[in-house]
Structure 1
Amino acid sequence: MRRRMLPLLMFAALPLGGAMAPAMPEPPAERVVLSRDTEAQWVPFDLTPGNQIQFRMTVDGRPVTAILDTGFSLSVVSRRFASRAGLKVSGGGEGVGIGGTVAMGQINGRILAIGGLTRSGGRLGVLDLPGGATGNGATIDAVIGSDLLRRYALDIDFAAQRFRLLPSGRLPFAGQTAPLSMALRDQFYVSEMSIDGTRLRPMIVDTGDGATITMSDEAWKSVGGVKPTTTTTISYSIAGPVTSELTVLPAVRVGETMVREAEARIEPGRGFSAQMGAAGRIGLGYLQRYRVLLDPGAGRMVMAAGSDVDRPPLRSTSGLLLGFYSDRLRVLHVMRGSPAASAGWQAGDQICSVDGQPITANYASEPISTWSVADPGRIVRLGMCGGGERKLTLERFY
């Protein structure tokens, strides 16, 4: 059965990974060119169920499916693509991602084309990119990171689902601003934010992280005032699953912008953010409420608010985070303090029907798929794949 992951809080989110920290020799000389008509070279994209920017580009003229991820400091291609294209892969590297470290190879001298940008020479990492990382079953061939993007102004128009690369210093639209620079060990995009008057910095600006806000455990402890109730959630990356605390903050400020009811994850112990020397990450759940211009060369992030800037987050009322397997749902995580936890649900339980309706291949697009975030008080009948039925009364628990 083909595994598929579905959206955050309706189901589990899937940040694809984090920064790459390879132990490799210096790359060969590279040449990067922006075309004269780069302003017109918009790249269309889809937001995956895992909340990443998925688009098409070419590597050596071959069309590939890629993710736009400022949280990767080295762009990579998948081992599947390298093998299919007959590319020679050198080993000896290691990547640091959300969830741990992974082995990484390298290839040199490829030609990459994204909208108005063409790069020849240079280096690409080679990784096993998990097929379930986007949640839509798509095979991901590449992840484009800050090594290609940071020289330019990256204009992301979420309303029109397109992006483009412009010369640094261009200001194609007006909006609120926040500081932006390249910093930390792996030269991340970094900014800052504040919660109830507590200033947190540096915050990694990570277009590959589908969450709204992620904080290190230390940063969370530094936030003053009365803190909201927390529960638990699970996410997946190139290095495996990670369990984090989850809460909804009354308000978060990033520069001149403010988002009310912002969902936030708190990484346990020495999580990825802490390892990178950051207070946390600003993810796509925050950024996609705006049209965003990321221009570290000009020292700014510009954000023009969209129509749903203050939309409230989807809150689970079931406590079940689920994976979809074409004809069934599999419990991946039971959220602490939830109705499902009280009812004894466990990771690995499998559901084959909801309120008498069988799980089919079209489940994700059917109205019944929203049951796990439905109104409190609703009683849902869940048919178990091994036989029998269990009832679950939905509640608000965080």
Structure 2
Amino acid sequence: MSEPHPIRSVDFSVKSGTRSINFALLCAAMALVYFSSACSTCGAAYPTGEVVCEIARDGDLPIVAAEVGGKKLRLLVDTGLTISALDVRHRNLAGELQGTAELQDTDGRHVDLEVRAAPEIRVGGRRLPIDVIVLMDVRQFEFTGEAYDGCIGLDILKHFVAEFDFDAGQFRLFKQAPSDLGIAFDLMQTIDGFPAIDVRIGTEAPMRVSLCTGKSAALGLSKTAFLELSNNAQLRGFDRLSLELVARRRDSIPGVVSQLQIGRFSHRDILAWTASDNTLGLGYLSRYKCTFDFPKQKLYLKPGAAFHGVDRFDRSGLYITKSSGRFTVSHVYPISPAAEAGLIEYDVIKAIDGKSC
């Protein structure tokens, strides 16, 4: 990312005829593709009872309080990472070098990362099973403004039943699934090892999508899927789309799918974005209490308070993060009212239509 320009404070007035701004939070798509390491069998004892942690409500990033190497940190619970990660700022907490990992970002770039012996990690007072951990700069992925110090990935979660209760604001880990979890679905895997499920969009054939608790967007679609759905009238876009436009743009393009169905559950007009792959994120998952039974490969969905929520198609072209009590422009869509109004990255929004933020 380029160096930020001097911060400006601006009052963004919504033009007549445009829609009010929906502060949609986006999270970078990141996938640890593989790691080379002589991993031993984890020596940490599994928690004997359930682990209960507080997380944000209403579908914000599930960040838990943890003790890492005796230090209190904040960790993102991310089903979109195959191996847990620690920010490079806390390198001193990790052990000896064990190998390397490859990170693939949303632009398709590959970066080699260090894999080191993991420090002891405790969540809810209980030690988690982990041998190795990746060191990475997690700040480059903090597009929502929520700061955290690392991630709990699938290498830990795979041993447990992991429950995300976005209404109660709780994250739980069990060794055995409790009762009354909702409707069960087969939990599958993508070729890269991420949890996945088959969904149906409109009248199209079933599509396999990964499930990522580290992404804020409701639905991410590969450019191929995005165009196919648009051409088949199952998706309407921000503007008239063409293969050339989608192919050459590196930033995400928004759209709305007509209907998204998982088994008996169906939702209309779900907000979607172009992404590196097909993914369901927190914007969708937070409509339910979601329980991942990784050992038995089951996903349980139980409708929550946001089940009937309506996704609003933001036409401002303005993406905003909230951090330290202020709203900062993280991105401006090039062809949009926000761009026409002269807003640029790192502007601080003080008021909208004369109303203080």
Normalising by structure 1, what TM-score?
A: 0.72
1:328–1:181 Cα change, 3 Å: closer
What is aligned with 1:58? 67
Contact (CA 8 Å) 2:7, 2:347: kept in 1 or not?
A: no
State the 1:310 CA deviation. Answer: 1.7
Query: Are 2:51 and 1:45 equivalent residues in the alignment?
Result: no
State the 1:72 CA deviation. Answer: 0.4
Query: Are 2:21 and 1:21 equivalent residues in the alignment?
Result: no
Query: Are 2:208 and 1:208 equivalent residues in the alignment?
Result: no
State the 1:149 CA deviation. Answer: 0.4
Query: Within 2, Cα distance between the matches of 1:310 and 1:200?
Result: 22
Matched ranges for 1:163-178 at <5 A: 163-168=171-176, 170-178=177-185
Provide Cα deviations, 1:196-255, integer angstroms capped at 9, x if missing partner: 1223433111111111011112223443742443128xxxxxxxx951121122320123
Contact (CA 8 Å) 1:82, 1:88: kept in 2 or not?
A: no
Select which of 225, 233, 236 maps to 1:229: 236
- Specify the code of the residue in structure 2 equivalent to 1:110: P
What is aligned with 2:11? none
Provide Cα deviations, 1:69-112, integer angstroms capped at 9, x if missing partner: 000001011110123x3755567432123333333112114222
Select which of 207, 220, 223 maps to 2:226: 220
Higher relative contact order (CA 8 A, sep 6+): 2
Query: Within 2, Cα distance between the matches of 1:355 and 1:32?
Result: 51
Select which of 291, 307, 310 maps to 2:308: 310
Query: Within 1, Cα distance between the matches of 2:149 and 2:144?
Result: 15
Matched ranges for 1:222-301 at <5 A: 222-223=228-229, 225-231=232-238, 243-267=251-275, 271=276, 273=277, 280-301=278-299
What is aligned with 1:104? 113
Provide Cα deviations, 1:29-70, integer angstroms capped at 9, x if missing partner: 3134333322xx311112599x31111112223221000100
Select which of 32, 46, 61 maps to 1:34: 46
Query: Are 2:132 and 1:133 equivalent residues in the alignment?
Result: no
Contact (CA 8 Å) 1:48, 1:135: kept in 2 or not?
A: no
Provide Cα deviations, 1:152-210, integer angstroms capped at 9, x if missing partner: 21111111111111125x2432422332123413x111111101122343311111111
Contact (CA 8 Å) 1:79, 1:127: kept in 2 or not?
A: yes
What is aligned with 2:17? none
Query: Within 1, Cα distance between the matches of 2:45 and 2:304?
Result: 32
- Specify the code of the residue in structure 1 equivalent to 2:84: S
1:339–1:355 Cα change, 3 Å: closer
1:334–1:266 Cα change, 3 Å: closer
Contact (CA 8 Å) 1:88, 1:107: kept in 2 or not?
A: yes
- Report % sequence identity: 19
- The DSSP-based 3-state class of the residue aligned with 1:33 is coil
Contact (CA 8 Å) 1:331, 1:346: kept in 2 or not?
A: no
RMSD: 3.3
What is aligned with 2:200? 194
What is aligned with 1:179? 186
- Specify the code of the residue in structure 2 equivalent to 1:368: S
- The DSSP-based 3-state class of the residue aligned with 2:38 is coil
Query: Are 2:333 and 1:345 equivalent residues in the alignment?
Result: no
Matched ranges for 1:81-160 at <5 A: 81-83=90-92, 85=93, 87-89=95-97, 92-99=100-107, 100-115=109-124, 118-119=127-128, 122-130=131-139, 133=142, 135-136=144-145, 138=147, 140-160=148-168
What is aligned with 1:393? none
- Specify the code of the residue in structure 1 equivalent to 2:238: T
Aligned pairs, how many?
Answer: 328
Query: Are 2:86 and 1:77 equivalent residues in the alignment?
Result: yes
Query: Within 2, Cα distance between the matches of 1:148 and 1:76?
Result: 11
State the 1:287 CA deviation. Answer: 0.7
